[in-house]
Structure 1
Amino acid sequence: MIPRVIPCLLLRDRGLVKTVQFGSDVYIGDPVNAVRIFNDKEVDELIFLDIDATREGRGPDLEIIYEIAGESFMPVAYGGGISTFEDAQRVIRAGVEKVVINSTAYRSLDVIREVSAVYGAQAVVGAVDAKKALLGGYKLYSRSGTREEKVKLTDHIAALVDAGVGEVFVNSIDRDGKMSGYDIELIRRVSSATPTPVIACGGAGSVADLAEAVEKGGASAVAAGSIFVFRGKHKAVLINYPRGAFVDVS
């Protein structure tokens, strides 16, 4: 089975942006146009994350979600501002196959439990944003990396899985947008802590990085942003989809 290779696209003010370490961002373009290009490139799946929704205290922007889902030929996962089961239900009814839950899970796991019970575990992804701690280990953050959460990485992963997530999406804040390779130690810690499929994100700069996250980190799928929207040493904006990272191992 060939691991999925998933563009992870960030929404801000209904436009696409790319961040560096969850901070400064560059405008990429219109999300619907990006979906059309990825359709032509036969992408495995898409993940869209609204990076401002939770921080701004608002729910998902259903208008842009309808546009994205209506244009996409591939499965779409969406995260951002989902704080209740009703939020998740509206997003799924808008045509999205999976909801991504991050900040809400630190306050309560009930949304994950309800979505999993009604739509199945495959419809809910538990997301974790992590940063290396000075004294070793990892610190977890919510609200797009602005709030530190006082919980251990493996304990939180166990809680997400117990609540019913079908996948765990783990993102390295340190590597975000740097294109210097994934944090393999982080991916390995998460993948070894659970049999639930793990999507690795944060740091991919080459096809070799994608393969390393699977072969050395144990990820079941790989997600990335910069490698799919930039080209060349000057990082010209160009939607692309590199292939050839994997061979079929089924």
Structure 2
Amino acid sequence: MSYEMSGEHDPVTIVLVDDHEMFRVGVRSEMEQHRDRVRVVGEGWDVDSSVQAVMTGRPQVVLLDVHLPGGGGTEVIRRCEAGGLESSATRFLALSVSDAAEDVISVIRAGARGYVTKSISSEELLDAIDRVSTGDAVFSPRLAGFVLDAFSGSIEVASIDEDLDRLSPREREVMRLIARGYAYKEVARELFISVKTVETHVSNVLRKLQLSNRHELTRWATDRRLI
């Protein structure tokens, strides 16, 4: 499929990347009401399908969820760039429910041009797509200052990465929920695992981070803006 940069009045071409089908359907439906501004040329629901959709569709903007089966949004960016995708032609805009530090930092480091949360309105999303397509960097208001702090050195990004590298993906999920105040039973229900498994993960997290209890864990996660 050949790709040509659109003219001034042509709609911005986009690929939707999210592992929740209902969310993709909702966004596509919303975008189709604004065909003069955007045109959906593909969808992805895991890393493999997303990379294929991007490399085939060559969109101007990829709406990219951070958490995906197969490696996450950062892996999609990495593989697309490794496949020869030009960052000046296709730009990535993270669209996620998460505003955790590790998610924001990792996807921006990988090359995304912006990061907005799913609480964004349709008009705000359309505006963000327009701006990112022209090379602007776009962030939800609450995240803008945080991103500046992270990359100016005010937040010790390297130490956050080093600490989190000790935890498995499942342990990170449990850590974040526990730090947010979830009871063990609530974590088990949220992640579809047993309470015993939650207890094991919490024990491992505390040991790896050299913390004594969940109160210290909450303070640790809050200080690093992980919740």
Pairwise TM-score range, normalised by the shorter structure: 0.3 to 0.5
TM-score, normalised to structure 1's length?
0.34
Which structure is higher in strand share? 1
Q: Rg larger in 1 or in 2?
A: 2
TM-score, normalised to structure 2's length?
0.36
Which structure is higher in helix share? 2
Q: Which has the higher contact order (CA 8 A, sep 6+)?
A: 1
